[in-house]
Structure 1
């Protein structure tokens, strides 16, 4: 590849035109779409969408596993002049109802099993299952040509949890998603012959980019909804996979498998985000997959991806998050608002064209996180002030220090403590609750819930009730019951005291 990637921005749906016409682009369970067929199916789906939803910029939601429609919708919605809202298939009705209402979705496409879980009032828009959507699109038989969307046009809204409150929608433009695909394809050196196994949810920026960066490079994607880590290994063997993107809990499970040497040797690159790799896990990955380059990365949905560590530096610097990816400038701002000195801790600030457009219909939270770049930045305009604390060493490598907010990072998912607490109180069993994330070797952080029970409530009923109400990754691993909750001087529940108490109890 060239020293610098091409900064030219095209409409996102033009990614369907990047690969060789007869080369594989999407490997489904029952058939493979070439790049030519991919473009045709995107055009077919886009024409149907435009006939169903006429208003330009309307939001179209999908709540699906990695089906054909889920994979094509990021491109088809743009071609139809609409905005895609992908919903994590692990979410349950309460979270889905919030996203539908907040985004003002005009159409939700899912499958019958998921749609049947919704209750009256959960959705103000039409609901359609995927087979019916394809049947209607094929009956219509029209095909939209590639779009002429402008770089600033809104392309997608990705919902991500905040440290307080319900999930918020991050607005991503054509520029954000196109240059994100270009950047990743460039630094990962993805080639047309590469076969990328897409195991991460497509509702995450990291998961969706598995599609976009691969198609930019002209490669092929194999979507996989796996039940066990062994399913991942079998897929690598079956499809000759060269690339896997995953989060630390999955990597821990994969290195524990007994991989056939020939299968392990197929992998050329492993990419990690959604949590830091430990030195021991790095050693295990380097041993198990000796022929693969390992790319540790750091990112946030508000700016897609910020840094990556060159594989040649991983063995010497296993805990570093590396340097800025193409099209990003990463600054370390100290508490005085100045550029931090080498090894001085500060806030990670990301500026450049990958910075999102803000939070959907939430000016207050947008103003908190999206602010003008510091005066010493090379790239001007708006920047994402991450709230994460980092330091830059003398060699220019960044190292993650900690999170300023209370966000819980578990199994590669960002979980809002308030959302867990609200769900606990909503069961009627809990009067007060505080959710905390404490270090866990397998999960990164495990969710601990400290709660005071309502009179007459049975504590044993809480976890089953939360399991019914929340996706599995949000269900607390531990519940600590208290007769009285500590209160801080400002009258709020004292999270700091509870976290210190639990950490002390966990210390051997």
Structure 2
């Protein structure tokens, strides 16, 4: 059968007709590469065989339908194939970010009541007595793969109901203990179909998977690429330069990252062989600035830049078509296929163009809630607004946005992060964007600090621009520049300089850690 290289597009996307998630293993041409591992290349036929054997082995262990199988390891054969193999075996995959520590992993294992844990030996040894549920069986990753090699039986494509639970993805827990978002086969299948089409993936695409597979954005790299029949190159990198080297070595066409990593990558020299095959650079987990867009365009001038916005509870909400990035660099874009994105005012009505409201996500990509947490589920998952064409349950994001006359969305800030100073509601994002636009800082976080006179005073935490001034000169220059960009009530009363802003395990700026650090220093009277 000739290999099709035709592009998938948002215009030729099929009707929302989800299949069991494991059917993604059947999409690619048999002899074409599906995954490039350190130990060798697996073709799509190998993918089918490995998923079938792994599913058969899992099914032979005697766990009940819907039992949770956790993985806690770096990217490799086990972590890449378990999402499909668990789905085929009627089990629920729970990927744990390998950057998490013992206590966080123990919380996830207990919270989901895992029946199995597959992890690297060193991670298993880090666990204490009582960290693993009493009836949970553990396998060293190498032992697990060795048992699979000796397993000769295989399971073919399943007939599971697409509404069955397929995975639990735990959020990073930056505002408390991680909470598990429960996803069905349909959620994940349609997410793969949607992304494959609006990114226009094809069977000759090679995706470099640098993001954690426990992150919905990271896991979708696998699923959307395999839906298109393409190839995945998993990479656990130590330095940004490792990403550049992998792009050159593997002929990468698709690279996804979050803003802190893009900042590092844009500062590097990219040789011709590292950018010659790049077709698209995709971003989520935070907004791209106009300067960073320019830096990425300079870095890979022939590649499309695709900004995206999403939340694990609804997989993804919007994307900005590459042709619109230059003219609308700060826009979140428009709804992705299969998503309905509404802007709802505080009185429950559809917001008029230019008016601020809460972003509400409706449609078949909406998750089923939080694992065994009815209270938090009720806070976020509520009946869809009357204006929804889908109805049912919607995700009320807590993000404040506005839609312009052309239908493009713009982020304003989070409802629970708004700074209330001297009677004014201030969006942290607006202060942050203004600071970054000066060119004097590389990254910035704005927050409200309790103040007896103002209620909250605006504080700005910033890292120096790579070619910035000395700290004292930079602060004076930044204060002067912000005076021209922001009204008086939005001006930071204090600027805290950091060598580098901390990130969470998914590579995003860790806003909660930054806020906690500033508040602790303030209460302790420490200099910052």
Q: Could you say which residue in structure 2 is the equivalent of 1:58? A: 67
Tell me if 1:362 matches 2:373.
Answer: yes
The alignment's TM-score, normalised by the length of structure 2, stands at 0.79
Aligned length: 442
Aligned to 1:293: 304
Contact kept? 2:36, 2:42, Cα under 8 Å: yes
Identify the residue that residue 5 of structure 1 maps to in structure 2.
13
- Larger CA deviation: 208-217 vs 396-405: 396-405
Q: CA deviation at 1:9?
A: 1.1
Distance in 2 between the 1:221 and 1:131 partners? Answer: 21
Structure 1 position 5, deviation (Å): 1.1
Determine if contact 1:25/1:33 at 8 Å carries over to the other structure.
Answer: yes
Correspondence 1:122 to 2:131? yes
Q: Deviations over 1:262-293 (max 9, x none)?
A: 32222100000000001100011112111000
Say whether 1:104 aligns with 2:113: yes
Alignment of 1:30-109 (within 5 A): 30-109=39-118
1:134-175 superposed Cα distances (whole Å, 9 cap, x missing partner): 122222321111111111010000001457431110000011
Match of 2:27 among 15, 18, 23: 18
Classify 1:176/1:481 alpha carbon distance in 2 versus 1 (closer, same or farther; 3 Å): closer
Whether the 8 Å contact between 1:92 and 1:471 is mirrored in structure 2 is no
Which secondary structure state, in structure 2, belongs to the residue aligned with residue 266 of structure 1? coil
2:208 aligns with one of 197, 202, 205: 197
Q: What secondary structure is seen at the aligned counterpart in 1 of 2:334? A: strand
Stretch of structure 1 that moved more, 132-141 or 326-335: 132-141
Deviation at 1:54, TM superposition (A): 2.5
CA contact (8 A) 2:172 2:506 kept: no
TM-score (norm 1): 0.82
Asked whether the 8 Å contact 1:371–1:385 carries over to 2, the reply is: yes
Q: In the alignment, what sits opposite 2:363?
A: 352
Match of 1:340 in 2: 351
Q: Is the 8 A contact 1:57 1:82 kept in 2?
A: yes
The answer on whether the counterparts of 2:343 and 2:401 sit within 8 Å (CA) in structure 1 is yes
SS of alignment partner, residue 399 of structure 1: strand
Q: Kindly indicate whether residue 215 of structure 2 is the aligned counterpart of residue 207 of structure 1.
A: no
Q: Is the 8 A contact 1:163 1:406 kept in 2?
A: no
Given the alignment, which residue of 365, 386, 395 partners 2:406? 395
Assess, with a 3 A threshold, how the Cα gap between structure 1 residues 176 and 96 changes in structure 2: closer, same or farther: same
Q: What are the ranges of 5 or more consecutive residues in structure 2 without an aligned counterpart?
A: 1-7, 419-427, 433-446, 448-457, 466-501
Residues 174 and 513, structure 2, Cα contact 8 Å, conserved in 1: no
Task: Quote the offset at 1:484 in angstroms.
Answer: 9.2
For the aligned residue pairs, the C-alpha RMSD in angstroms reads: 2.8
Deviation of 1:43 (Å): 0.8
Cα deviation digits, residues 14-45 of structure 1 (max 9, x gap)? 10100000000000012100001001000111
Paired residues of 2:215 and 2:506 also in contact (CA < 8 A): no
Match of 1:268 in 2: 279
SS at match of 1:384: strand
Partners of 2:190 and 2:459 in 1: how far apart? 33
Deviation, structure 1 residue 260: 1.2
For 1:225 and 1:437, how far apart are their aligned partners in 2?
A: 35
Instruction: Give the drift of 1:439.
Output: 4.7
**Residues 1:245 and 1:164: Cα distance change in structure 2 (over 3 Å):** closer
Distance 1:321 1:439 in 2: 24
Consecutive unaligned residues in structure 1, runs of 5 or more: 411-416, 418-435, 444-466, 487-500
Q: Could you tell me which of 169, 181, 186 is aligned with 2:192?
A: 181
Structure 2 residue aligned with 1:414: none
Alpha-carbon offset, residue 380 of structure 1: 1.3
CA-CA distance at 1:242 after TM superposition = 0.5
Secondary structure of 1:140's counterpart equals: coil
Q: Please, which of 133, 158, 166 is the counterpart of residue 155 of structure 1?
A: 166
- 1:87-486 superposed matches below 5 A: 87-124=96-133, 125-161=136-172, 164-406=175-417, 439-440=461-462, 476=513, 479=517, 485=523
- The answer on whether the counterparts of 1:303 and 1:355 sit within 8 Å (CA) in structure 2 is yes
What is the CA distance between 1:405 and its match in structure 2? 2.5
- Contact 1:26–1:33 (CA under 8 A) maintained in structure 2: yes
Per-residue displacement from partner, 1:84-134 (whole Å, max 9, x unpaired)? 000000000110010000001000000011111111110022211111111
